[in-house]
Amino acid sequence: MADTNEFSVRFWGVRGSIACSAQDVIRYGGNTSSLEVTAGDRTLLFDAGSGIRYLGKKMVQQKPHQADLFLTHTHFDHVCGLPFFVPFFVPGWSFRVWAGHLLPDHTLASVLEDMMIAPLFPVPPAIFNANIDYVDFRSGDTLDLGDGITVQTSPLIHPNNASGYRVEFEGKSICYITDTEHPVEGNDPVLVAFLHDADIVIYDASYNEEEYKTRVGWGHSTWEAGARLCDAAGVKTYVVFHHDPEHDDTFMDGVADDVEVARPGSVVAREGMVLTP
């Protein structure tokens, strides 16, 4: 188990929309959204894109224990890895899977059952051997996980809704804000308050401002808007995330250079990267 004071986030998938595999995306990574947050002895997972498959292969090398998985939403790129997450198939593991965007029209359990149904998928979620509880909350709720861990939530601006997360532990904070779209002018005051003085903010920066002109209403944001938001909220470290599948390593190198000029100390997410507040 982890050191009881450890608080960190590891990136297992950083891509948005669809996983991609080519020589020109290797350095930043082609798997879709998957994060692992270690908070003391607890494991918190965020989103279940294709990257969670690799996270699962690491986890099953450990003794089975309890973990929490928080979904920002259930668009396919954020849940496509669930049927391939090995710990779900291993007796002894215990998971709570959380979502805050579905009520009152759907429940998380029913949505995942609909995803894993013939002829789209050969087996249903009932095949999982781990103990899995599906927990629906309403975005805006604060979730007390015990062991000094608090997860605050906030609604995001995205088709079919989404939830942002702020994990507080040992006086530090890691925020995960994807998928969301920024206002036409200024910053979203709800997010400014939600992210106030955060140590790390991982933000949906799918596009640059020029690209965004033809993608208004798609539910995603820009690295420039993310930098402005982090400035307004007094964020310490801004992390560019949810890279467009058309953005190869050379393009992302350019984003890294530009965001460093705009907001020194910012980071472009890469698979395998670990950050500590």
Q: pLDDT digits over 186-228, tens only?
A: 999 999 999 999 999 999 999 999 999 999 999 999 999 999 9
Q: What is the reported pLDDT for 2?
A: 43
Q: What is the reported pLDDT for 1?
A: 43
What average pLDDT does the segment 32-56 reach? 98
Q: Is residue 111 part of a domain?
A: yes
Cα–Cα distance, 107 to 99 (Å, whole number) = 9
Q: What is the reported pLDDT for 3?
A: 52
DSSP annotation of 63: P
Q: Is residue 1 part of a domain?
A: no
Q: Is residue 204 part of a domain?
A: yes
On the question of a cis peptide bond just before residue 197, with omega within 30 degrees of 0, the verdict is no
pLDDT tier, 5 (very low <50, low <70, confident <90, very high otherwise)? confident
pLDDT tier, 71 (very low <50, low <70, confident <90, very high otherwise)? very high
pTM over 0.85: yes
Cα–Cα distance, 234 to 114 (Å, whole number) = 41
What lies within 8 Å, CB to CB, of 96 at 6+ separation is 66, 67, 68, 69, 132, 133, 135
Q: Is the pLDDT of residue 265 over 90?
A: yes
pLDDT, tens only, 114-145: 999 999 999 999 999 999 999 999 999 999 99
DSSP string, 149-208: EEEEEEEE-STT-EEEEEEEETTEEEEEE-S----SSS--HHHHHHTTT-SEEEEE--B-
Q: Is the pLDDT of residue 247 over 70?
A: yes
Q: Is residue 2 part of a domain?
A: no
- C-alpha distances in angstroms, 256 versus 164, 261, 262? 24, 9, 10
Domain at 181, CATH number:
3.60.15.10
Tell me the residue range of the domain where 150 lies.
7-275
Q: Is residue 34 part of a domain?
A: yes
Q: Name the domain count of the chain.
A: 1
Q: In what order do the strands lie in the sheet with 162-169?
A: 142-146, 149-156, 162-169, 172-177, 200-204, 237-241, 267-268
